[in-house]
Structure 1
Amino acid sequence: MPTNAHSKDELIRHFDLQPHPEGGYYRETYRAAQTIHRKENANEPRSASTAIYYMLCDGAYSRWHRLKSDELWHFYAGDPLLVRVLDRQGKLTTHRLGNALTHPDTVFQATVLGGDWFAAECEDPASFAVVGCTVAPGFEFSEFEVADVAQLQAQFPAHRDLIARLGPVEGGA
């Protein structure tokens, strides 16, 4: 449950959060005016960096997806959030984001490298977490890829159950 007398709905209103296609709620808070060009797509300028607020609650999770850019996750409020990362070799890493001052087994920040598959969920599905995500080079939906669960399971059979559990949401892509 949201703490300090803030309900989930109050936080969504206060931060003007909108439903995110991968699950949860978000709002872009920063898009750098400075642009860069990727080698593989030199004709399309993109922001050097972007940032969002991101909130998971009510059992929602961020389904398996990947970006071309690195993404840095920052913990702000709520209870611990688990960021699950599958690297190209199939190694699973779980970053436990939380208030590292009150939960010594958590971290304030975690990085997901561009190209790695990742998903996120609240450690306690009945709780909530408010985090920030900074992407550099900046986030573009054109570089956002939702996993094909069957393909991901075939590629990483050791993590079959976790991949299925954090796969596409009901009615999602």
Structure 2
Amino acid sequence: MEQQVRLNSEAIVTALDLEPHVEGGYYRRTFQADQQPLVETVRGQRYLMTSIYYLLTTDSPIGQFHFNQSDIVHYYHLGDAIRYSLIFPDGELRTVVMGSNVIAGELLQLHVPGGIWKASQLLNGSAGFGLISEAVSPGFDFADMQMGDRQKLCGEFPEHSALIEQLTIE
């Protein structure tokens, strides 16, 4: 009889071979479209698509504000819900929650267009973690990502200063 391993953040990090991400949380690239021609972008050649696992935990509960050039589709898997804060170029703030409670309006999938400032935050729950995947097109490259600078973001979006201060590092 197999012994059941308790599902917790440490077990998931180990099982999925995740490593710390610069924005917070943990990740691992799981796919890149090697069998397709590379896509030419203004920033250089990129894979047509890439995909990662991304995990937030009680020890690393925030994915800080950052900006990606590519479109990203997020897929919720398991654990606690995750709140996403999206700031659009015109200053519009949109907040959504990814999680399993679709009846309460939580999303299983979330599309974030390239060019949007995005942050994520693990919501309190019993699991102590939230696991998603992301599909990125054109494929993710760290050269296409910009971490949010608190002072610059607060200057650009002063109406969201309190949120920006909460979801960035000085």
TM-score (norm 2): 0.89
State whether structure 2 residue 73 is matched by structure 1 residue 77.
no
Q: Is contact 1:18-1:25 (8 Å) kept?
A: yes
- Hey, what does 1:48 align to over in structure 2? 48
The whole-number CA distance in structure 1 between the counterparts of 2:72 and 2:157 is 22
Gaps spanning 5+ residues in structure 1: where?
none
Q: Which residue of 2 aligns with 1:6?
A: 7
Q: 1:144 to 1:79 in 2, by over 3 A?
A: same
Secondary structure of the residue aligned to 2:153 is helix
Contact 2:8–2:129 (Cα < 8 Å) also in 1:
no
| 8 Å CA contact retained: 1:65, 1:147 | yes
Which secondary structure state, in structure 1, belongs to the residue aligned with residue 104 of structure 2? coil
Cα distance in 2 between the residues matched to 1:86 and 1:107: 18
Q: Deviations over 1:85-134 (max 9, x none)?
A: 00001111112100145x53201011111111010001228731000011
- Per the TM alignment, residue 58 of structure 1 is displaced from its structure 2 partner at its CA by 1.5
CA contact (8 A) 1:59 1:125 kept: no
Amino acid at match of 1:36: V
The runs of at least 4 aligned residues of structure 1 exceeding 2 Å deviation read: none
Q: Whole-Å Cα distance in 1 between the matches of residues 71 and 48 of structure 2?
A: 12
Partners of 2:163 and 2:45 lie apart in 1 by 36
Which amino acid letter does the alignment assign opposite residue 66 of structure 1?
Answer: F
Within a 5 Å distance, the mapping from 1:73-112 to structure 2 comes to 73-101=74-102, 104-112=104-112
Q: 1:37 is matched by which residue type in structure 2?
A: E
CA distance in 2 between partners of 1:84 and 1:123 (Å): 13
**C-alpha offsets along residues 51-78 of structure 1, whole Å, 9 cap, x if unaligned?**
0000000152100101110111110000
Partner in structure 2 of residue 141 of structure 1 = 142
1:59, 1:122 within 8 Å by CA — same for their partners in 2? no
Please tell me whether residue 120 in structure 1 is matched to residue 123 in structure 2: no
Runs of at least 5 residues in structure 2 that lack an aligned partner in the other structure: none
In the aligned structure 1, how far is the partner of 2:95 from the partner of 2:33? 29
Q: What does residue 157 of structure 2 align with?
A: 156
- Residue of structure 2 in register with 1:32 after alignment: 33
Contact 2:83/2:95, CA 8 A, preserved across alignment: yes
Q: 8 Å contact 1:57–1:125 — kept in the other structure?
A: no
The question of whether the paired residues in 1 share the 8 Å contact of 2:58 and 2:122 is answered with no
User: How many percent of aligned residue pairs carry the same amino acid?
Assistant: 30
Give the Cα separation in 2 of the matches to 1:59 and 1:85. Answer: 23
Contact 2:25 2:54 in 1 (8 A): yes
Distance 2:8 2:117 in 1: 31
